[in-house]
Structure 1
Amino acid sequence: MADIKDLMARVIDDLYAGLTGGDAEIPLPANTLINWIQPGIPLHPSEFDFAVAGPYAGPTPLTMGFFRELVSVIQGDDPKMSREEVLKQAKLAYQQHLLGTWENWSRLVDFIPLPAPGEGQSGWTSRNKQGRNKHTQVVYAQSGRAVSQVYADALNLCMVADDEISDEKKEIITRMRRLLQEEVTVEDWISGEKRIEIRQSQIMKAYDEYQTRYENAVIDYGQRLARSQNGSAADLVEWSRSGGIYRARAIKAWRDWESLGSKNDVERAQAVLDQLLGTSAVQWVADLRSDVEQARNATQGVFGYPFFPASVVPGGFARSDSWTTYENHELHRSSQESSISRRGSASLGFSLGLVNFTGGGGGGRREEEFKIQDNRFGMKFQYTQVEVVRPAFNPGFFSSQSWKLKHEFTDAYRTDQLSDGSEKPTGALIAYPSKALFVRDLTFYSSDLASYMKTKTEDIQAGAFVGIGPILLGGGYQQSSFNRESNLEITDASVRIPGLQLVAFVSTLLPAAPNPSPDIKNWL
């Protein structure tokens, strides 16, 4: 008899190994924190269409199918409506959908993670009906604070170095900034209204895209390496025959990042800015404050509330075929509790037992133990990792030595640091979500699990969420005017969950901040 916790621990360990790398020659940044979500949040590919061509754009070849669906639905509601009126309403619905999903994603990633969440602190809620942002459809917040608010407060409540900077250095700073960001005039597809937005430069977009490709190649390599060491004989044979290919792919992705993604140029520009602005940061911080204020004024949500904009790179990932496949039909033969899964909630923030969520993920949770009688258990799904980008957010501020917090910030947050930079960090903003991990089209191969899930279909239809750790087995939430269901499919020997779900964030830990230089004499 196998325990579902042990089997799912193996899946989590494989994903964890892929996310953190598996080869010293293919490094990943060490300053990362993985935040699992319990259970995964069901999403539809159309909810990332705003990132394909921008939230104010019309349909693209990639998103035209969804627009045609809107036209068909609207035409079906009133067959007598003219084609012109149908298209007009479809355009409005499409625009509202883009704005609503952009706002929803921006609010979803605007959280500060906990370094070691306990059970009950990795969940999410939907259809929030309380508070200032009661229109927000999905909420995932671990520390209860927003990255955007703490970042804005740190900018507004800090003193900056005021030493003289030469005209020559000012010119260099301007050039470096132009390399990393640009001002873009955008036009609303429907109203024709024009506005100026600060966005990543094309070079910076390429940098992020090729960084993501490299990291996904490392994930694939690390996950296959982990399976070869702890998996079945077939996994080991596959690795012995093709492990070199996956390693070569990861190395090639690194080289593409360097050449096509301008890795060295971007990082050199960032280093130059850090160095030059270490002596005078008055104008730099003023520009950062202006970026935040402009973002707040320029981005109004569908209900009229401002939000701090965020997107994803690559923008079309949800409709892409280039995802990594995880497949293991012999989990029951190879499952074992590793040092990761044994730490349980101290490491993951949730139990790996079967958990039912009711009330839209908010309350009424109950956990049920589940045993597999016939010891047969397998799993298959696709997964990918994407970059979370915030145009008005500059992480370089945190590593600069040209600022320090005022007493007003310390009094408000009861700490004089954003982060102390320790292994178990403390502070007002210890980290921020920088990547997101998605899985899609899951299939569990287990007759016992299939039988169990058949007993839960009525609960799911009534609004319950059923999941194992970060994997959602059944349930859906409503986003804007569209119902997004998980479309649970159960046979005698399998459970299939088509569609997309968000299962984890990878957050970047801050260094010790502030860390003002002792050489600075003048503060403003």
Structure 2
Amino acid sequence: MDLKNMMARVIDELYSGLTGGDAEIPLPGNMVINFIQPGMVFHPSEFDFAVAGPFSGPSPLTLDFFRKLAETIQGDNPEIAREEVIKQAKAMYQGFLLGTWENWSRLVDFIPLVQPGPAQHSWRLDRDQGRQRHAQVVYGQEGRTLSQVYGDVLSLCEVADDELSPEKLALIQKMRALLQETVETTDFLTGEKRTVIQESRILKTYADYRTRYENAVIDYAGRLARSQSGSAADLIEWSRSGGIYRSRAQRARADWEAQGYKNDVERAQAVLDQILGTSMVQWVAKLRSDVDAIEDNVQGAFGYPFFPATVVPGSFARNDGWTTFKNLELHSSSQYTASSRGGAAHAGFPLGIVNFSGGGSAGQTETDLRFKSSTFGMEFEYTQVEIVRPWFNPGFFASRGWRLKTEFVDRYRTDRLSDGKAEQPAGALVGYPTKALFVRNLTFHSSDLAGYMHTKRDDIVAGGAVAIGPFVVGGGYHQSRVSRESAFDLTDTSITMRGLQLVAFMSALTPMGPDPSPNVKKWL
């Protein structure tokens, strides 16, 4: 029994989860998948900042978490006044939301490598930065942050300065108002008023309905793939209910168009791209001011700015509706397709090797686990989320009314953001992560693997972790202000890992650029 073949089958399923397609169908040339190893464990509460915003009070989904904070503060001491308990709970809750928001924002502020090696798929937590320490995650990325390069592009570029008519200027303002808004919020803890730039309600609704549609397509495609290569039960299920899942995907598309502003948003984006192709002075000034506003107003736990990112749907971690993978007969799969691990979707790590990382400063050991039993199965739930950055507008890259200054070229030693190649693109900003893939409630059914885990149990309780492909068993949650160990159950024949795991990113590749129009007469 070959662990490599079995894990490859599961990777193919996750590939379908991110692409809505089949492992036999290669990714589009403008996309890339980066799996990480080992998976990064999260508690559902770590995405509460995305439910109602990082400065808000508890929502119905998070009220129980807030109540538990208050109960912890109260403890067995009835002398603490309820008003003081609530005040302290507010401070803890607000600090928790801001800390997890910062951690997620820094985590997704990276530029992907298209074909990273095994070492570049792993991640680590740097703790040598003193007061400024934060999670420094390394997984198939360039050595620069997305925010850094994007900010330098806006600051160190020239733009077309052709005049626009008053009618076109008014249309630009109208389209921008449809996509972005400036709102005043009240800090839950201090009551302070603050102004923040964010994607408009219409654009958030658009992204939410698009994600619902994509998840419905993923569910349909995954069930179709299992009916063709899975068990007899999968085939029977498909024959009886395949039409239902297809109809769900079609309804989700219709809902996106009718209620998710699909046509309005895409028309606005197209209008902006068309008008601003030759006159971009106002556009780039607005983009620069958005970045400056972030640096001036968004501060992290240690007083240093970060560039915020959130997820859509915001409540994904606490919601049902995840897609289920369950195959208790993976051992019967002796062949697998390599499409999802070749080219732009290269997995980049040994699927058949079990990695163990000890707690603290312990190193990593690899084990080529030999199976004596003839059975192996897995089950888990998975879903994808959209990564949203209100300060980032990649549409700027595709326009033809800008070019890089020599200062940018000297700093980055390239005159390109990207050369546009699909296999090995080169440039200062070849891509950016757009989606994240999570799994939860992961269970391995294998007596051999369970036996190996029993030998590592004490180390895992102490903070160690076992990585099998992009999955992890053990380890701890890593977040601002709160540290608690993840939970797992171990029997003689199975291992169950509760909680969420981040296992992969999908990234969009930047088109060739800059590609300035030869018709531009004046540059500023």
Which TM-score band applies after superposition, normalised by the shorter structure?
over 0.9
Amino acid at match of 1:275: Q
Partner of 2:434: 434
Amino acid at match of 1:491: T
Relative to structure 1, the CA distance from residue 375 to residue 340 in structure 2 (aligned partners, 3 Å threshold; closer, same or farther) is farther
Q: String of CA shifts for 1:373-418, please: whole Å, max 9, x gaps.
A: 1121111111111110001111111111110111111111111111
Amino acid at match of 2:127: K
Partner of 2:48: 49
Between the aligned partners of 2:58 and 2:261, the Cα distance in structure 1 is 30
Contact 1:55 1:102 in 2 (8 A): yes
Between the aligned partners of 2:344 and 2:249, the Cα distance in structure 1 is 32
- Aligned to 2:121, the other structure's residue is in SS state coil
- Aligned to 2:505, the other structure's residue is in SS state strand
Match of 1:135 among 127, 133, 136: 133
Once the two structures are overlaid, the 10-residue window that deviates more, 377-386 or 27-36, is 27-36
Partner of 1:120: 119
Amino acid at match of 2:440: R
Relative to structure 1, the CA distance from residue 64 to residue 32 in structure 2 (aligned partners, 3 Å threshold; closer, same or farther) is same
Once the two structures are overlaid, the 10-residue window that deviates more, 323-332 or 95-104, is 323-332
Once the two structures are overlaid, the 10-residue window that deviates more, 148-157 or 252-261, is 252-261
Amino acid at match of 1:107: R
Between the aligned partners of 2:419 and 2:20, the Cα distance in structure 1 is 26
Partner of 1:418: 417
Once the two structures are overlaid, the 10-residue window that deviates more, 377-386 or 330-339, is 330-339
Tell me by how many angstroms 1:243 deviates: 2.0
Relative to structure 1, the CA distance from residue 494 to residue 451 in structure 2 (aligned partners, 3 Å threshold; closer, same or farther) is same
TM-score, normalising length from structure 1?
Answer: 0.95
Between the aligned partners of 2:451 and 2:26, the Cα distance in structure 1 is 43
Partner of 1:180: 179
Tell me by how many angstroms 1:341 deviates: 6.7
Between the aligned partners of 2:479 and 2:30, the Cα distance in structure 1 is 34
Partner of 2:106: 107
Tell me by how many angstroms 1:486 deviates: 2.4
Tell me by how many angstroms 1:322 deviates: 1.4
Partner of 1:279: 278
Amino acid at match of 1:508: A
Relative to structure 1, the CA distance from residue 344 to residue 428 in structure 2 (aligned partners, 3 Å threshold; closer, same or farther) is closer
Answering whether residue 70 of structure 2 is matched by residue 71 of structure 1, we say: yes
Partner of 2:232: 233
Partner of 1:518: 518
Contact 1:125 1:138 in 2 (8 A): yes
Relative to structure 1, the CA distance from residue 200 to residue 27 in structure 2 (aligned partners, 3 Å threshold; closer, same or farther) is farther
Between the aligned partners of 2:343 and 2:371, the Cα distance in structure 1 is 20
Contact 1:232 1:334 in 2 (8 A): no
After TM superposition, list the pairs within 5 Å mapping 1:28-47 onto structure 2.
Answer: 31-47=30-46
Partner of 1:307: 306
- Aligned to 1:371, the other structure's residue is in SS state coil
Between the aligned partners of 2:369 and 2:340, the Cα distance in structure 1 is 17
Q: String of CA shifts for 1:75-107, please: whole Å, max 9, x gaps.
A: 127553222211111110000000000000000
Between the aligned partners of 2:157 and 2:5, the Cα distance in structure 1 is 49
Between the aligned partners of 1:363 and 1:173, the Cα distance in structure 2 is 56
After TM superposition, list the pairs within 5 Å mapping 1:396-415 onto structure 2.
Answer: 396-415=395-414
Partner of 1:498: 498
Q: String of CA shifts for 1:176-230, please: whole Å, max 9, x gaps.
A: 0000011100111121211111111111001100111111112212222222222
Once the two structures are overlaid, the 10-residue window that deviates more, 231-240 or 36-45, is 231-240
Relative to structure 1, the CA distance from residue 344 to residue 444 in structure 2 (aligned partners, 3 Å threshold; closer, same or farther) is farther
- Aligned to 1:257, the other structure's residue is in SS state helix
- Aligned to 2:518, the other structure's residue is in SS state coil
Amino acid at match of 2:522: N
Partner of 1:445: 445
Between the aligned partners of 2:420 and 2:493, the Cα distance in structure 1 is 49
Amino acid at match of 2:292: E
**Gap regions ≥5 residues in structure 2:** none
Tell me by how many angstroms 1:365 deviates: 1.8
Relative to structure 1, the CA distance from residue 77 to residue 139 in structure 2 (aligned partners, 3 Å threshold; closer, same or farther) is farther
Relative to structure 1, the CA distance from residue 389 to residue 335 in structure 2 (aligned partners, 3 Å threshold; closer, same or farther) is farther
Relative to structure 1, the CA distance from residue 358 to residue 27 in structure 2 (aligned partners, 3 Å threshold; closer, same or farther) is closer
Tell me by how many angstroms 1:40 deviates: 0.8
Answering whether residue 335 of structure 2 is matched by residue 364 of structure 1, we say: no
Amino acid at match of 1:224: R
Once the two structures are overlaid, the 10-residue window that deviates more, 370-379 or 266-275, is 370-379
Relative to structure 1, the CA distance from residue 445 to residue 254 in structure 2 (aligned partners, 3 Å threshold; closer, same or farther) is same
Relative to structure 1, the CA distance from residue 57 to residue 342 in structure 2 (aligned partners, 3 Å threshold; closer, same or farther) is closer
Partner of 2:249: 250
Contact 2:96 2:482 in 1 (8 A): no
Between the aligned partners of 2:385 and 2:345, the Cα distance in structure 1 is 26
- Aligned to 2:320, the other structure's residue is in SS state coil
Answering whether residue 304 of structure 2 is matched by residue 292 of structure 1, we say: no
Q: String of CA shifts for 1:458-512, please: whole Å, max 9, x gaps.
A: 1112222211011111211342232232211001211111111111111111111
Between the aligned partners of 2:117 and 2:476, the Cα distance in structure 1 is 25
Relative to structure 1, the CA distance from residue 205 to residue 29 in structure 2 (aligned partners, 3 Å threshold; closer, same or farther) is farther
Q: String of CA shifts for 1:415-471, please: whole Å, max 9, x gaps.
A: 111111111211111111111111000111111111111111111122222110111
After TM superposition, list the pairs within 5 Å mapping 1:12-27 onto structure 2.
Answer: 12-22=11-21
TM-score, normalising length from structure 2?
Answer: 0.95
Partner of 2:483: 483
Between the aligned partners of 1:497 and 1:476, the Cα distance in structure 2 is 12
Between the aligned partners of 1:146 and 1:133, the Cα distance in structure 2 is 20
Between the aligned partners of 1:285 and 1:80, the Cα distance in structure 2 is 58
Between the aligned partners of 2:184 and 2:244, the Cα distance in structure 1 is 44
Tell me by how many angstroms 1:134 deviates: 3.8
Tell me by how many angstroms 1:342 deviates: 6.8
